[in-house]
Amino acid sequence: MADWIVGLRKAAVESRPGARPDELSSVEQAIGLGLPPELRSLYEQMNGGSFEPDVAIYGLQRTMEAAGVLEETKVGLSGLPASGVWRFGLRGGGDHLFAAKRSAWPRKPENAALPGWFLQMRQDEWVFGRKNTDTGELELHRSLQALLWSLIPPVESEDFGENTYVKAMTAVQKALEALGEAGAALVGNQKRKAASKAKPKKRKATAKKKK
């Protein structure tokens, strides 16, 4: 399981068990679109959940208590492309969370503070974001991890461990996202350095000097 999903599950106020492969395939077939790899990985581990402050990730299908990815995606949302989009969550009453293929936007999106990487993306890549239906504001992120950690505060009460590492590396990743491949290389170097420091160092045996 990805470290950031581990951290997300720890931050959840309430979450559901992961979806079965047949449930994921059924929703994909109903929409006629494959889930982005990051989003699919998340639903394999957690089929919806709620977080502070007032953030909800939908379950794959609607229940008596909550909206579902299938139904919300079918309805669509004004200001987003009509196809090539998944709607999977909500913050408050107006910020709708989505994933969309770069090819779904044939031109520059309106009302968006575009990061430098957006126009350089391949057409088959996925972009993640939130669309506010009250203000029309559109915010984009290059990864699902970056989007969710921008909305959900990290867990505060914990010992140093996997989630602390997730928070630290997420902050570094967000700062380097605009650098594209160079940023990704730097993040990889930081991870390798952190891993090497975590390994106990062997003490070198020293020979006693003869008098």
What pLDDT does residue 168 have? 57
**Position 114 pLDDT exceeds 80:** no
Contact criterion met (CB below 8 Å) for 162 and 7: yes
Q: State how beta strands 85-91 and 138-141 pair.
A: unpaired
pLDDT grade for 186, boundaries at 50, 70 and 90: low
Closest to 117 in 3D by CA, of 102, 138, 95: 102
Cα 139 from Cα 132, distance rounded (Å): 9
Q: Would you call 60 exposed, middle or buried from its count of C-beta atoms within 10 A (0-12, 13-18, 19+)?
A: buried
- 115-141: per-residue pLDDT in tens? 788 888 999 999 999 999 998 888 999
Residue 98 has pLDDT above 90, yes or no: yes
What percentage of residues in the chain have a pLDDT greater than 90?
46
**DSSP secondary structure string for all residues of 11-74:** H-SEEEEPPPHHHHHHHHHHHTSPPPHHHHHHHHHEEEEEETTTEEEPBSS--SSS-BHHHHHH
Whole-number pLDDT of residue 211: 47
Label residue 79 by pLDDT band (50, 70, 90).
confident
- Average pLDDT estimate for 79-104: 93
Q: Is the pLDDT of residue 158 over 80?
A: no
Which domains, ranges and CATH numbers included, belong to the chain?
3-155 (3.40.1580.10)
Q: At residue 166, does pLDDT exceed 80?
A: no
pLDDT of residue 209: 47
DSSP output for 99-167: EEEGGG-SSPPTTB---TTGGGS-TT-EEEEEEETTT--EEEESSHHHHHHHHSPPP-S--SSHHHHHH
pLDDT 10s digits, 14-49: 989 999 999 999 999 999 999 999 999 999 999 999
Q: What is the mean pLDDT of residues 102-125?
A: 79
pLDDT computed for residue 72 by the predictor: 95
Measured in degrees and rounded to the nearest 5, phi and psi for residue 93 equal: -105, -5
Which tokens go with 141?
């992120």
